[in-house]
Chains A and B, each alone.
Chain A
């Protein structure tokens, strides 16, 4: 096993620059998830680590060894693709053994490696079947098995759960976490699904437009997003954001004149400073305190245990989303009062960058 460093990676396709200087350090044994919207360059970055794309500039270092100019097979990596990429004419056993056979490994050693991987993934009974006779989940396991057999230093996963249905995705997510615990191999995992990122990662790298927006643990990114993009990208429903102006006295004035108490900041805001206020839907409390703001429930999404309320402030602004336990006491059209606890607010400057909150 080994750590992985990507140093100032740049990649252009013609005139389009897809990676604009990405640097990431992944510790030995760490599970890192790269997440971002379509076209942000996350798959290109993964393919560059695998050696399937040549970087325009920058370096890839695995276990202290510069592998930038090495062929994919010489990098000590194994990759699991979104489409599984199994060889359709070979059995599961032959699929898993393919890499070792190419490397002319001893037949007994190949057999042992394949059977051990098959046991780890509980696919011993499938070894004689061809990929066409397997379900989506089984194919995914075989693809992982093929990666394990090679005993790589780094696992690379390119959106491996995207082709599975919702149920199976949840189960495989759990299995990925289990597998990583068992093998402890350094893993770089690419997805556009923030739930996968939040549940699997030791650390998340949020990528947008070829640049890193923020790196941190799932908790850090959720609790202290570095900017509005990260704040809204992680979390479902997404964070509410409203434009406001600081009044210089610890409050923010909303465009309709209502005001909200702000948390203490490391650098106090001067009167008239424009800012954006963010609050997660689950942090909004519905109550009837004197400081609460009045809203009308425009629409309710009932999810069983939870309900998402879409609140209309009556001033033409975007609806505010609020999530809470559904006890059946709310109906569409009801008038409610919502409070925005100061310690749950996220503040962003005019450029969308987070403003530092003073320690409580």
Chain B
């Protein structure tokens, strides 16, 4: 039994190592002198660690500006997504209105359509509305994600009707019930959803690339991709850029992972 347990631990550690090794090497290379990573075989650690790549990144390439753009777009995307998704998910779960289930079924059916298919029509629509090459255009796809509505709805289903009825008898309006009773109970799923939207919009490359033409509006992934075409040989700068892109969301995830796991487990444990 003990041997079995050890072998499971060993296997888990091995898988973890394989997963994290590229990340560690990414950080390691970002501190190497220029050209050091291109040697063969590539070194694991920098011979003499340097911040030169980061100086170049933030100085010459102005990554600080793109970092700010990314934070702005992802924060707005997250805020707007929560603003629309939570009430929608709650309404689909708990309010009685005509056509509720039919509309929800249609939404769920739309989940199977890949996002890329909608990109061209969405682009044309936004163009007609004059929103191309603006952050408003970049934010539109995040306004109300079907997956988010589905997630909130499923979690809301586990809230007993009697609790909402008790609040109604206590004189709370539907808005007050949502704000004072439902939102606090939804905290784990809200954190999960916020993290999901933030990560997705932070990492999103395709849509900002399509909709944002002006270089000054570029988000980090788009800006890095654009500069990689010029610096394709500079592994060290590229890795420093990757660190700048990954680190904020990694920290965010680690800080909120307790809620995140709560939220993901919610459906199965709470029933």
Contact = CB atoms under 8 A, between A and B. Distances in A.
Q: Indicate, yes or no, whether A interacts with B.
A: yes
Interface of A: 50-52, 71-73, 77-79, 81-83, 85-89, 98-99, 102-103, 146, 150
A88 B170 contact: no
Contacts of B168: 52, 71-73
Contacts of B166: 79, 81, 85-87, 146
B165 A52 contact: yes
A73 B163 contact: no
B162 interface: yes
Closest 6 CB pairs of A and B: A73-B171, A99-B170, A85-B162, A89-B184, A85-B166, A81-B162
B103 interface: no
Interface residues of B, number: 16
A150 B171 CA distance: 10
Contacts of A85: 160, 162-163, 165-166
Chain B interface mostly? helix
Interface string B152-166: 000000001011011
Interface of B: 160, 162-163, 165-172, 176, 180-181, 184-185
Contacts of B163: 85-87
A51 to B, nearest CB: 8
Contacts of B171: 73, 99, 102-103
Question: Of residues B160, B166, B171, which shows the largest number of chain A Cβ atoms within 10 Å of its Cβ?
Answer: B166
Contacts of A72: 165, 168-169
13 contacts: A50-B169, A51-B169, A72-B168, A73-B169, A73-B170, A77-B169, A79-B165, A86-B163, A86-B166, A87-B167, A89-B185, A98-B172, A102-B176
Given A50-B165, A87-B163, A146-B166, 5 more contacts: A52-B168, A52-B169, A73-B170, A85-B160, A99-B169
A103 B172 CA distance: 8
Nearest to B164: A85
A150 B170 contact: yes
